A and B are shown apart, each in its own frame.
Chain A
């Protein structure tokens, strides 16, 4: 099989996998980017959320051959030093319990805030309802999104 070119976290990679392999497993097994998590494999939990040209997508159901020249951003590429407002808010609110769902939560929240500077609770519900957290950190996720919006100068 011919190697595919993909762009992940501002770097080019040639990956030697069949084009129907889900992006999730290319990130994790081929590129070693294990921050993106496997939770369900069928777009039901959000743990595998990454950005494709800034849009949140479920990498477990995105064939690697379908992304073409689009840029993939994973949790590792969100900021070089955990300085993204969402990451800072997540630390400040002590959101994480086991933490396993949180890469996906953070990627969904970052995508929401990129579009909606000062999201309402209803905006948060709509954007985040596909990200499950078995540890039940939802209340803190909501608080952290509001905090990140305020710090990032939302509500202009």
Chain B
């Protein structure tokens, strides 16, 4: 008989952080009482993601970071499925940084682009299958029987003719001596036991009892706490610094200059913050001090008069527009947005002569290693990255600024240092979702059919700074995604892009270019529908004949939402469909407009994201992505005055609240294709769905975000 596994509380997530181990979650091994064969002594670790120990614990090492998207459960599911591991006794660990964890598809160790499951779908299943084959062969060797007579199930190998069993733990020594098969057979999807199941997330229990460890919660013995004063104007530098008042704060130990500003280092956060606030600094604000939201808008509009780099040119748009019976033109703009993760940026660094440790909630362990190596002169392999849980990521924790600061401060004071950003620091020193300016034109033939579409985008390039390798032929795909590849069949299409930088730093923000471009293109298509007297849903359907995935999600969304059923005055439905990160999502929003205020009551969301690993996670990601998008649609923007960010905390950058959150219904279309992304694709359609619903309710066209009372007056 086998004793049941016992859930271990409050152990793994906190254990060993200071000692150098990374985050780990999971279950204690059960007291396994199977008759012992030759007991194993060594762990079996056939690849970087699997370690099986003689106590029959299967540890799966995940090289992606958890920021709420469930990778600490979904990624282990891929391995456990093929490994035939006992799911109730799985242990999960966070991988360190290292070349063995560089993803073969992206060539980087990062978490982003909704790519975790997508880019490890083959890799992880093969890793599990290879280990399974080796364990089968080890057992067959132990018993002197053909491997075909053996089967793997629940972390044991069974000899079918005799019913004999050996646990994986009993086989580790023997399995470790076997060669690793390069192309092990993978299971047929019909035999999946875990993939596709609504499994409870392993990382949930520590998130309800306070024991989950985020970057801010790391306890490193002897660590000091640092808070940094940065020039409020982007690119500014200190001219004079008087640390006298800061040093007078009880508990303040050091005031040190670093590249980004001046750090106050103290025994704890509160004195560090008081000390930082007491610094007397005169800033040299530099040229960006002249930049404002108004100056940016004027510069973008002027830049829009010039042709850009062509992203798509099909047919002859000029001739088609010239011959059109009717043309439409509109300008759409979207503002900067902050990531505003609930956990502000932070990093604990400990720089020593012989090495460096980082404890950090990060989306980019590989880049963290390089950042610290460059600043310390250490070899990258001497930099250990201990990944904690992330209190939100959304692209912000891909950046290196907070890691660089922590490394510089620790190096300067010769002690472990926890760098903490206040909310104000986080809001005013983000890499923002870029602002864009867009002019679109459409040509309709005498029957009202859409024959020409042009779209000129003016905006930043994120990749030029953050990921130059992806810029091709002068085009940053992250700026134009979702605009150049609209799914509709239109004979003449031209999309071009003008890059314009402003001194305001920009970065990847949940769904990146699609976050703006879905709004722009799906709202303008709604204008085409209105101009040609067509129903917005029916028009999309007729234009999606070559895009069956889009058509499928669109149709189900319309059906579930009761598209076309009459609504009371002041209410409306809007629809939008968008593909991003390998998945297609359609959303129908139902809104009420009263007294200059919009209330989103209901959102129907249909997603087709290929094979689903954990349906509950897909639903949760759609629900969350919609709320994330609604804040940018209805509530908040980042504006610039005097070269600095105007907003500073949640009073002037308010997030959607529970009393404003709509009822969200998520439907997942079945598919046998490999998995698509799920973290981001739910965000793009919500802004256009809401804006189109406002038009349906009021006849007012929304061409800029966020939607405020003035925009509703028409």
Using CB atoms and an 8 Å cutoff, list the residues of chain A in contact with chain B: 1, 17-18, 21-22, 25, 28-30, 32-42, 44-45, 47, 74-76, 78-79, 81-82, 87, 90-91, 94, 96-103, 106, 124-126, 128-142
Contacts and interface: CB of A to CB of B under 8 A. Distances in A.
Contacts of A18: 250
Given A41-B422, A139-B623, 11 more contacts: A25-B269, A28-B217, A36-B210, A37-B342, A96-B68, A96-B207, A99-B68, A99-B212, A102-B207, A124-B658, A136-B628
Contact of A132 (B217, B344, B650): B650
A140 to B, nearest CB: 7
B69 interface: yes
B204 A96 contact: yes
B620 A140 contact: yes
B392 interface: yes
Contacts of B422: 41
A90 B664 contact: no
A44 B651 contact: yes
A82 B268 contact: no
B340 A136 contact: no
Contacts of B344: 38-39
B210 A101 contact: no
Interface in B37-86: 66-70
Nearest to A137: B624
B200, B422, B620, B627 — most chain A CB neighbours (10 Å): B620
Contacts of A87: 208-209
A134 B389 contact: no
26 contacts: A29-B225, A30-B268, A35-B211, A37-B216, A38-B216, A38-B344, A44-B650, A44-B651, A45-B650, A79-B209, A87-B209, A91-B204, A94-B616, A96-B207, A97-B70, A98-B343, A98-B389, A99-B68, A99-B203, A99-B391, A100-B341, A131-B658, A134-B628, A135-B68, A137-B624, A142-B658
B655 interface: yes
A37 B391 contact: yes
Contacts of B193: none
Contacts of A130: 657
Contacts of B340: 134
A136 B624 CA distance: 4
Contacts of B620: 94, 97, 137, 140
Contacts of A79: 209
A78 B204 CA distance: 17
Interface string B405-427: 00000000000000010110000
B452 to A, nearest CB: 38
Interface residues of B, number: 61
B625 interface: yes
A75 B208 CA distance: 8
A18 B268 CA distance: 12
A149 to B, nearest CB: 16
Contacts of A94: 200-201, 204, 616, 620
B704 to A, nearest CB: 23
B422 to A, nearest CB: 6
A94 B204 CA distance: 7
Contacts of B211: 35, 76
B342 A47 contact: yes
B38 to A, nearest CB: 39
A117 B77 CA distance: 38
A42 to B, nearest CB: 6
Interface string B179-214: 000000000000000000000110111011111111
Given A38-B216, A135-B392, A76 B209 contact: yes
A76 B250 CA distance: 30
Contacts of A99: 68, 203-204, 207, 212, 389, 391
Contacts of A29: 225, 268-270
Contact of B659 (A36, A91, A129, A139): A129
A16 B496 CA distance: 63
B357 to A, nearest CB: 19
A147 to B, nearest CB: 13
B219 interface: yes
B291 interface: no
B661 interface: yes
A134 B210 contact: no
B627 A136 contact: yes
Contacts of B489: none
Contacts of B214: 37, 100
A82 B219 contact: no
Contacts of B393: 98
A78 to B, nearest CB: 8
B210 A40 contact: no
A130 B657 CA distance: 8
B656 interface: yes
Contact of A136 (B9, B625, B650): B625
A39 B423 contact: yes
B351 interface: no
B119 interface: no
Contacts of A44: 649-651
A28 B200 contact: no
B210 A136 contact: no
A106 B659 contact: no
A96 B623 contact: no
A23 B291 CA distance: 40
B576 interface: no
A74 B209 CA distance: 10
Which 7 residue pairs spanning A and B have beta carbons closest together? A35-B210, A136-B627, A100-B391, A97-B68, A99-B207, A98-B68, A75-B210
Contact of B657 (A42, A106, A132): A132
A22 B270 contact: yes
Given A40-B649, A128-B658, A134 B204 contact: no
Contacts of B210: 33-36, 74-76, 103
Contacts of A82: 9, 205, 208-209
A28 B391 contact: no
Nearest to A88: B208
Contacts of B67: 98
